[in-house]
Chain A
Amino acid sequence: MKILVTAKRVEDPESKIKVKADGSGIVQEGLKYKMNPFDEIAVEEGLRLTAKHGGEVVVVSIGPKDVQEQLRHALAMGAARAVWVNHPGPLDPMGAAGLLQKVVEKEKPDLCILGKQSIDDDQGQTGQYLAEWLGWSQGTFASKLDSLESEAEKAKAPAIELSADGKTLQVVREVDSGLATLACSLPAVVTTDLRLNQPRYASLPGIMKAKNKPIEELTPAGLGVDVGLQVEVLRMSPPPPRKAGVKVGDVQELFQKLKNEAKVL
């Protein structure tokens, strides 16, 4: 089974994000970057599926040269090879999905696994556009029935199940009322939720092997995709600073305040 996974470069969620004074974006100097955590879950799921059913995981990322760091990370986790779409400029979900569609048509995977959203701009649309434009089935917000403390997770079993004939995937997804189980015919696009798996760390031998794994460079022009923005960011502004709290002397005072001042009781 050939699986294409995505690895977007995003700001480290533990970094302190500051908005530029003119609202044109965020201050990038000194920021740390890492792979979008949802994509890391996608890479992990792909690796588990190929470990069980055979095949290879190909990882793709779109962005400037720096995204090679995230591709190397996925290669160090165990992906076989990487595709880098060299695009230094801004990109919206439709642009990303358009580029991914062309990469899919070139690579012909059986399955694409993407993070359900990226934690930088939280759009959460790319996987859905991709499935729609490819005309493939989609299982979004894939989750796991078992807890992350379960034996299945400890045994690194994939949460996404492949049918015996290899033609259908069973995807469990989180919905408002609980969990829904979908049968998706292959080829399919799956997007990952947080509780699908716990991604592995890259091992040190894995990091060394990743140095020699191939990264293929593509460009939007080469793929024939117009990545002109459909969505324009007008202005960014930081959330208003939180007001200082007050210290209460005892539980009774806390109740008084909740009742009389906050009026939540």
Chain B
Amino acid sequence: MDSPPEVAALYRLDDSLSEPERAVREVVARLVQSEVLPVIGQHFRAGTFPAQVVARLGELGVLGANLGGYGCAGLSNVAYGLAMQELERGDSGLRSFASVQTSLVMWPIHRYGSEEQKQRWLPRLARGEAIGCFGLTETEAGSDPASLRTRAARTKGGYVLNGSKAWITNGALAHLALVWAKTDDGGPESVRGFLVDTTTRGFSAREIPGKFSLRASSTAELSLVDVRVEESDVLPGVHGLKGPLSCLNQARAGIAFSVTGAAIACFEGARAHALERQQFGRPIAAFQLTQAKLADMLERIVVAQTLGLHLLRQKDAGRASPTLVSLAKRANVRAALTTAREARSIYGASGITDDTPPIRHLLNLESVYTYEGTHEVHTLVLGKAITGIDAFG
């Protein structure tokens, strides 16, 4: 049940959006309503990825939508963020798929790739015919990517990759892996990006079992044993860690905006439940503590949405600093997570089953809290910006 119009207007921010931006949101909202929400609960329960949605996202031009040319829609970051927000209203796992495809695979190819690499990969990735993953994190290199161990040894005409990657979204589904590895000399400045066709001999992916979060999404370990890549598979336009870090900055900005979608789904569900559920002869929405929870949830959503819109407008103007990205990612993911927890509590006992959406969003958001720069790392980025002192050591 939708919120009353004057409440929804507070977080839909329609008056601040252009007509194409609203149109983009409505198309993706319709897709999620009719093709994602009816099946997402079952996928979450079964731990399966809703693969049939990928082709639809490709058909509608959602993947790589904020890039220009090569079959991409050329949307503003705000319009793209609205599309991601609607996907996240469905499920953070599905949105994670799209974020990785767009910001961590297509964006670096678009930004740092050769013309041949762009022609080869971008149209297929945009149509959803090829799925990409981003291999930076390793079991021993999470928040500290400079310590990554995957090596690319130079050989005649190319490189041989050895190493392993962990917590890789889309890993087990991917046709293309963008693997970040150090070239021979081993320093962080020697990091390069390699476009690895996942059918190459020596490449394998293993789904990580036992997840309680992002269950409708693939999260895998990648293993690279003597994987040969050509010189033409190296991203020519970037050297060093700033390559992968710039990709993450892209993705984080999108996430800071989109995560509100999960919060809105939780809020709307909890509101409807509170009005319907009767205790002591009245709907629980009549009790002050429930009203306080709903008011807190709405406040957090509106604040997050306003901050997210500010961030993406700044990004469209080329002015979004990494500090602002860190601030917004940290603030908005925490706001969404808190909102999901409160929504869960309004559902009472039924809220612990996957028949109700908040527990799914809540569990998903625990991943979002940690990935794309942990909450803690973003805190220290802000601490450094405020004090000038680097607390990372």
Contacts and interface: CB of A to CB of B under 8 A. Distances in A.
A30 interface: yes
B196 to A, nearest CB: 29
Interface in B17-32: 19-20, 23-24, 27, 30-31
Contact of A204 (B5, B6, B65): B65
A204 B60 contact: yes
A202 B28 CA distance: 10
A204 B73 CA distance: 6
Given A201-B27, A201-B30, A201-B31, A207 B4 contact: no
Contact of B61 (A29, A72, A205, A210): A205
A204 B30 contact: no
A211 B23 CA distance: 11
Interface string B349-393: 000000000000000000000000000000000000000000000
Contacts of A205: 61, 72-74
A30 B4 contact: yes
B40 interface: no
**Which of A31, A73, A208 has the most B CB atoms < 10 Å from its CB?**
A208
A29 B5 CA distance: 8
Nearest to B8: A30
Contacts of B75: 204, 208
B125 interface: no
A203 interface: yes
Contact of A203 (B6, B19, B59): B59
A76 interface: yes
B340 interface: no
A204 B19 contact: no
A208 B75 CA distance: 7
Interface in A62-84: 69, 72-73, 76
Interface string A105-140: 000000000000000000000000000000000000
Most buried by B among A29, A202, A207: A207
B173 interface: no
A72 B19 contact: yes
Contacts of A72: 19-20, 23
B85 to A, nearest CB: 14
A207 B72 CA distance: 12
B362 to A, nearest CB: 27
A215 B13 CA distance: 26
Given A69-B19, A211-B20, A204 B4 contact: no
Contacts of A31: 5
B20 A207 contact: yes
Contact of A207 (B5, B6, B23, B30): B23
Nearest to A29: B5
Nearest to A201: B27
Contacts of B9: 30
5 contacts: A204-B24, A207-B20, A207-B27, A208-B20, A208-B74
Given A30-B9, A72-B23, A206-B61, 20 more contacts: A30-B4, A30-B5, A31-B5, A69-B19, A72-B19, A73-B23, A76-B23, A201-B30, A201-B31, A202-B23, A204-B24, A204-B62, A204-B83, A205-B73, A207-B23, A207-B27, A207-B73, A208-B73, A208-B74, A210-B23
Interface of B: 4-6, 9, 19-20, 23-24, 27, 30-31, 59-62, 65, 72-75, 79, 83
